[in-house]
A and B are shown apart, each in its own frame.
Chain A
Amino acid sequence: MIKEGTRPTKTLSVILNGQKRVTEIQSNETLLDVLRNKFQIKSVKAACWVGDCGICTVLLDEKPVKSCLVLAQETMNCTITTVEGITHNDKLTELQDAFIRHGAVQCGYCTGAFLILGHYIINQQQRFTFSEIQEMINGIICRCTGYLQIIESILEVNEKQFR
């Protein structure tokens, strides 16, 4: 949708999923809006727009953030990772594969957020317990799955790293 164009705009340059991307933004635009509307990154969803649900989680300089709470202009020259950045052609990551095998996907609306957070957890190169993972993903809501299969998927891939 067209946003009002009367405010002063700035040029935003980021490394989005490994590629340098540039766009014009307004000072009040959130990272969420810029990702979805300017860069057409549709895996990043929203359910509250005010920081309560975690559905808009992306990695900003390798750290998980709620993109609806981040002003786009603060991400100048930052690295941003979304599900689009971890999938290439037909090749799924181990975590994506685990989500499918465990049945961690129902409506799929939260899936991008949990995958990105799971990706972050696995990248810690640290071994976590079931309840630690349960605690780490507590900030994202899923209304469909009951969480169990999501936790199990992340746990399985995490454990594999130490086998």
Chain B
Amino acid sequence: MNNYVGKSVARKDAKEKVSGLAEYAVDIDYIPNLLSGKFLTSPIAHARIVSIDTTEAEKIPGVVAIVTGKDWPVKIGLYAGDRDILAVEKVVWIGQPVVALAAESEIIAEKALSLIKVEYQSLEPIFDPKKAMESKDILVHEKMVEYNHSPAFNPIPGTNIANHFKLRKGDIEDGFNKADEIFENEFSMPQVSHAYLEPIVSIGHYRKDGSIEVWSSAQSPFTVRYLLGITFATPTSNITVHSPFLGGGFGGKAGLNFEPLAVLLSRKARNRPVKLMLTREENFRSAPIRVGMVASIKTGVTKQGKITAQQIKYIWDSGACADYAVNVGRAAGYVSIGPYDIENIKSDSYTVYTNKPYATAFRGFGHLELHWVIERQNEIITKKLGIDPVAFRKLNTLKPGTGITGNQHRLREDAGSIDECLDKVWIDLSPKKDKIKSFDPWIFRGIGIAGFMKGPAQPPNSASSAYVKFNEDGSALVSVGTSEMGQGTLTSLAQIAADELGLPFEKIKIRGDRDTDRDAYTWQTVGSRSLFMDGNAVKNACINAKEQIFETVSQVLRVPKSDLTIKNELVFPRGEPWKHLSLSEVVMGYMYPSGESIGGPVIGHGTYMAKMTILDANTGAGNPAIFETFGAQGVEIELNALTGEITILKLVSAFDIGKVINPQLCEGQVIGGSVMALSIATSEKLQYSDKGDLLNPSFVDYIISRSGDIPKEFITHFVENPQEDGPHGARGIGELTMIGVPAALGNAISDAIGVEIFDLPITSEKIWSEIQKQKPTLISNLKQKMMEGI
């Protein structure tokens, strides 16, 4: 029976957060003997390091340790070891840490840094991902061939290509021959910043006994621990990673980031702990960002609207390191044609190095970008063919029981329905199709829709675990490895546990901070995987705990275990609640009136293993994900043709998430995610000088949405086609909430005024200048009308 699943119970951490008690890594200052860490970064995008002179800095009283790349020249990274802790031989982007030091105070650290002299010998840099892909003489990583790579990736030595993923099916030429029309276009999206509000903070403590303790704003403490073990050649059991509440992550705090540097500083600082806390500018310049993308697409379609061939090339601008972004290219590669069933496919997805800040995971993980391409292309096609946009899509969409990786691997028949999502969104938008005539002739209204899908991009052996530990009074602690960065998964997991154990929600405790020694293991908190993976693990842990409870109770009550059930904290044979024992009588062991006791403290454990395969290197075929969540989003806009300004009147979303565990949390994800996506779609872009220097490393110059920028209305639908192997049938949602927004917006602009946008972000200036280019007479006509006073 579900008392809590499906209900909007308040977040477990809400009280802590509204009363200012929630602790973040930035707040930790109570570790004894804590030093301040700071690093000096490269001012040149590509150069050989000739010499580093730290003599003057060493003389400053209060400077405890100075480290350079040569102190620990180990390459680090998640899927590819391509990143120096501190630059060793050469620097590869402006902002790359080169020298770091630990001092008694931040002020001393800053002063000492200013005295360090580094001599560089400039090398030719490369910034344009298309050029980088072709280049054989300017290489960001000449030694790529020596790096460690996870076997799922395919780097091309002697180039800047860190990974090439291929999706192949049918015969592409044959597909184009069958087409009545062929559409060719190019699309792009720039690198953007996560702009999580809590900057990156890592505290490292390398103890005298060689054990390592880390406190970090890390989304994936277990992965940090594992990779630290490799970095410092020490057993994982020697390392403890704490990650307190995160002030936002969105993928930017996944993988391994500044933890090795903090540990290295501590090691050199005679084992005193060191805190590295990035300023906003450092965070923009030195911490990882989102990949940029350029794509070219060629689509063959019949007159009736059936897609016969899809040929795509994606180039992912990963910046100077691709240890995580190789997987962005891979994930976007196997979903590269979007949620469609197409006979003939030739798709290439390249992750490419350039001399810019390095990229990592970011909510949507290549899928926001690829659906910008696919769904804009589809709009252009439907317009030309004169077919209804939803009818066109539904003619081509994957149906339940059809497959992914180009329909080369069948999805489960209960995988969910994109068609239902498209319909739900379209109904809310299309009554407006007969556009309300605006009073002003220069105001245009339009609607746009985009469909999409995404599943968690994780290795096939990605695992989760959980344990449930009972207390004397029958209350319980649930432990998982998933981090709390705002998404609220922990609350949903507690709801699942409460229902499974028959406990009131208040009697389930789930901590918001993670500790790798204390908590159950999970691979990473990424990819909208946690509810599904950890949710199943929690459920299994509860079942295991119940087994233990029933074992004891069946002896006491002399009934078979299989007859027993728990409800309202009472254990009893089904149908006979009066024959009960209370949980508190059993969970620490049961004592008979004679004093003889049986059972013992109950700790239930559970695991969940991803069910996936490695993909075929030549065709991409295989099972890449434990689920795909399908969705659709649409917007209705008002566009001022004289200024290029847009107002979002309505944002409609629908997702088939199988089961809504907590409606309010889901809705919070949708609103937050779609506003973030609108922000990215309309204003966000990391801009560089021709030397590769980031020009907008602040919240004044890098513009993210404020409260005044949000849509006037949000409408959200959850479709619930349960996936039987999900917890209560649920699939993930966190990232999905962003994916359709940019394309829907581009499509609405096209609908409103007939102007096609190919490159993000869609700023007012861009719209205005595209109107000038594509509709040169429109504005003068409007101005004329204005003069005539119509």
Contact = CB atoms under 8 A, between A and B. Distances in A.
Interface of A: 1-4, 36-37, 41-43, 45-50, 52-53, 55, 82-84, 87, 92, 96, 99-101, 103, 105-112, 115, 134-135, 137-151
Given A53-B197, A105-B13, 9 more contacts: A1-B106, A42-B27, A45-B197, A82-B20, A135-B707, A138-B706, A143-B196, A143-B197, A146-B672
Chain B CB within 10 Å, residue with most, of A1, A46, A101, A135: A1
A143 to B, nearest CB: 5
B197 A137 contact: no
Nearest 6 pairs between A and B by C-beta?
A43-B20, A107-B486, A109-B247, A108-B17, A146-B675, A106-B486
Interface residues of B, number: 65
A98 to B, nearest CB: 10
Contacts of B787: none
B198 A151 contact: no
Nearest to B108: A4
A37 B248 CA distance: 22
Nearest to B512: A108
A108 B671 contact: no
Contact of A2 (B20, B104, B194, B488): B104
B246 interface: yes
A143 B246 contact: no
B676 A107 contact: no
Contacts of B668: 103, 106, 145, 149
A149 B250 CA distance: 20
B641 to A, nearest CB: 24
Interface of B: 8, 10-11, 13-24, 26-27, 29, 34, 36, 62, 104-108, 194-199, 245-250, 275, 279-280, 485-488, 664-665, 667-668, 671-676, 698-700, 704-708, 710, 714
B677 to A, nearest CB: 10
B699 A48 contact: yes
A109 B700 contact: no
Contacts of A1: 29, 34, 36, 105-106, 275
A36 B108 CA distance: 20
A109 to B, nearest CB: 3
Contacts of A96: 18-19
Interface of B is mostly: loop
Given A49-B279, A109-B24, A138-B706, A146 B671 contact: yes
Nearest to A133: B707
A150 B486 CA distance: 15
A105 B698 contact: no
Contacts of B62: 4
A52 B18 contact: no
A36 to B, nearest CB: 8
A48 B280 contact: yes
A52 B199 CA distance: 14
B526 to A, nearest CB: 16
Contacts of B8: 103
Chain A CB within 10 Å, residue with most, of B8, B17, B106: B17
15 contacts: A1-B275, A2-B105, A3-B107, A4-B108, A52-B280, A92-B19, A103-B11, A103-B668, A106-B672, A109-B198, A134-B710, A141-B197, A142-B197, A145-B671, A145-B675
Contacts of B486: 106-108, 144
Contacts of B18: 83, 87, 92, 96, 99-100, 105, 108, 111, 115
A146 B707 CA distance: 7
Chain A CB within 10 Å, residue with most, of B19, B26, B27, B104: B19
Nearest to B484: A107
A152 to B, nearest CB: 11
B672 A144 contact: yes
A142 B675 CA distance: 10
B601 to A, nearest CB: 30
Contacts of A43: 19-21
A15 to B, nearest CB: 18
A149 B10 contact: no
Contacts of A82: 20
A81 B36 CA distance: 29
B706 A141 contact: yes
Nearest to B30: A40
Contacts of A50: 280, 698
A141 B14 CA distance: 19
A2 to B, nearest CB: 5
A107 B674 CA distance: 16
Given A105-B17, A146-B675, A45 B700 contact: no
A5 B487 CA distance: 42
B108 to A, nearest CB: 6
Contacts of A47: 197-199, 247, 280, 699
A131 B671 CA distance: 18
A100 B705 CA distance: 23
B698 A144 contact: no
Contacts of B708: 134-135, 138
Chain B CB within 10 Å, residue with most, of A53, A82, A92: A53
A125 to B, nearest CB: 22
A84 B20 CA distance: 7
A18 to B, nearest CB: 15
A103 B663 CA distance: 10
Given A48-B699, A145-B668, A138 B707 contact: yes
Nearest to B279: A49
B275 A108 contact: no
A92 B20 contact: no
Contacts of A52: 280, 698-700
B19 A87 contact: yes
Nearest to B199: A47
A92 B19 CA distance: 8
B29 A137 contact: no
B699 A143 contact: no
A109 B217 CA distance: 12
A84 B34 CA distance: 26
B105 A3 contact: yes
A146 B13 contact: no
Given A109-B197, A144-B672, A145-B671, A101 B20 contact: no
A131 B432 CA distance: 24
A37 B29 contact: yes
Chain B CB within 10 Å, residue with most, of A100, A142, A144, A150: A144
Contact of B247 (A37, A108, A135, A140): A108
Nearest to A137: B707
Contact of B671 (A36, A138, A149): A149
A105 B106 CA distance: 32
A79 to B, nearest CB: 18
A101 B675 CA distance: 21
A49 B27 CA distance: 15
Contacts of A151: 707
Contacts of B676: 143, 146
A137 B704 CA distance: 14
A96 B11 CA distance: 13
A42 B675 CA distance: 28
A72 to B, nearest CB: 16
B369 to A, nearest CB: 19
A101 B10 contact: yes
B14 A100 contact: yes
B246 A107 contact: yes
B32 to A, nearest CB: 12
B10 A100 contact: yes
B248 A109 contact: yes
Chain B CB within 10 Å, residue with most, of A46, A146, A149: A146
